[in-house]
Chains A and B, each alone.
Chain A
């Protein structure tokens, strides 16, 4: 298995395989969304908690 130029996985039969890439993208995006939500909540809690 090798990586093509556009960063998509191609297996030996030449079939386009971007399933794993999509999985990684989904997981990373989910993590980032949760990170941003937590950061926002933390900032708001700090601002409202100290007024």
Chain B
């Protein structure tokens, strides 16, 4: 029985060279993910999008069941805790969310359930599994999670600070604090739509400072990820050289 579970696990994971079943399964899953995203690019649903949803969800449900079934093998310990731990992993949550949109097909569109259609976007996350480079990037992000969280906190504090300053200095410019937050985010990220722009000298000065510091702060996450990614690549290279 455990042998069968091991084989199921091998098939549903990224294929190794020469494994025809796993290769065919990977192609099916990749196709199912890409095709199930097509309805999101269309303005109106048609009979084909209905069937894409049905067939796609069928594939995703089978995949989800197989992944939960092999959870103890994947997690490395035989206990019901392995299943619970697996179900709560980010990728398993995305797998589950990817199944939910099918509910809206059988319920009135006017209800809140119509929003479930938006969950189809989560299906794109499932593609992460089938690219080795994406797996490396996901691991890298996991490794520098603490630094990224620190930078995110710094950015949030900075946005709030700029928003509060400009909200006090130019009260006529903003209807509410959310507008000020929107302005601060657009300025810091250097997007600068220009729909809200300061009129007083002090307001403009704040904008200049905010934009200059913003460039440095916003560039931090990409620097952290790039450094960690290069580190990971070098590690892999030296492993092969040894």
Contact = CB atoms under 8 A, between A and B. Distances in A.
Asked whether A and B interact, the reply is yes
Interface of A: 24, 27-28, 31-32, 34-35, 37-39, 41-42, 44-46, 48-50
Contacts, number: 70
Interface stretch (B33-41, B70-78, B174-182, B230-238): B33-41
Chain B interface main SS type: helix
Contacts of A44: 48
B49 interface: yes
16 contacts: A24-B21, A28-B20, A32-B27, A32-B28, A34-B32, A34-B55, A35-B28, A38-B52, A39-B31, A41-B55, A45-B38, A45-B46, A45-B48, A46-B42, A49-B39, A49-B46
Nearest to B23: A28
Given A41-B35, A45-B46, A50-B42, A31 B52 contact: no
B132 interface: no
Contacts of A42: 31, 34-35, 38, 48, 52
Chain A interface main SS type: helix
A34 B36 CA distance: 13
A27 to B, nearest CB: 5
Contact of A48 (B24, B41, B46, B59): B46
Interface of B: 11, 20-21, 24-25, 27-28, 31-32, 34-35, 38-39, 41-44, 46, 48-49, 51-52, 55-56, 59
Contacts of B39: 45, 49
Contacts of A45: 38-39, 42, 46, 48-49, 52
Contacts of A34: 28, 32, 55, 59
A28 B24 contact: yes
B21 A28 contact: yes
B35 A38 contact: yes
B24 A38 contact: no
B20 to A, nearest CB: 6
Contacts of B21: 24, 27-28, 31
Given A46-B38, A49-B43, A50-B42, A32 B52 contact: no
Contacts of B44: 49
A37 to B, nearest CB: 6
A42 B27 CA distance: 15
9 nearest CB pairs, A to B: A49-B42, A42-B35, A45-B48, A31-B24, A31-B28, A28-B24, A44-B48, A38-B35, A41-B52
A28 B31 CA distance: 15
Contacts of B20: 24, 28
Nearest to B58: A34
A31 B35 contact: no
